[in-house]
Structure 1
Amino acid sequence: MATAAFAALAHAALVAVAARSFGLELAYIAVLSFVVALVVALIGGAVLLAIVGVLRLGLTSSLLLFLIAIQAVAIWLEFYFFELQNGWADISWQYGLISVPASLVAWHQSVFYIHKRA
């Protein structure tokens, strides 16, 4: 939930800055971003957490796994939703501003939290 909320707010903020306006469309973007991020975070987070458990990864290696995997999912979603034609040149750096901190939030709320409780 925390990862999805962060992703929704960050995406809406980036759109607001780019469009230089606030409005009802921004609320729709935030809600849609939250729903997409929630589905991806719940499924992807469960898979990543299972991988960390099965491979018995430490904090550093699990953090790297989360960073790489979530960045890869963000790039794939960008290609899927926006049908980018020029390949890697079309990937916007703004999604890195969302996916990297979202990875940290996801890792902190799952792996780090479990590590501290164990």
Structure 2
Amino acid sequence: MTGFAYLAALVVVIGCMALIDARWRLVFWRAPLAAGATIAIGLVFFLLWDAAGIVSGVFFRGTSAIVTGIELAPELPLEEPVFLAFLCYLTLVLVLGAERILEARERRSAHAAGREDRS
């Protein structure tokens, strides 16, 4: 079972991000098709990047007791595309969450400035 620890951790963390996403409607709960397309494009980009690194000998799988040991291609473990999808999803949640926070700060500032003008 320890061979699935990393994959299980990735799935749990993705689930937690989905809860954050659902609560504040940041990514998939805001625009599901655009979110899916963006994550898919990012995933393909990073898999191509990995393939280039594997072919050039820069990237290699290595060994660990916490991974499944299942390879989708030589030196490309099962966990890699899951991690890359997590990375893309995390980036979207962080960027759109930061955007939401900055917009809220601007609204509060504008509201406070409006109250000061009336005084």
TM-score for both structures, normalised by structure 1: 0.35
Q: Which has the higher helix share?
A: 1
| Greater fraction of residues in strand | 2
Higher radius of gyration, 1 or 2: 2
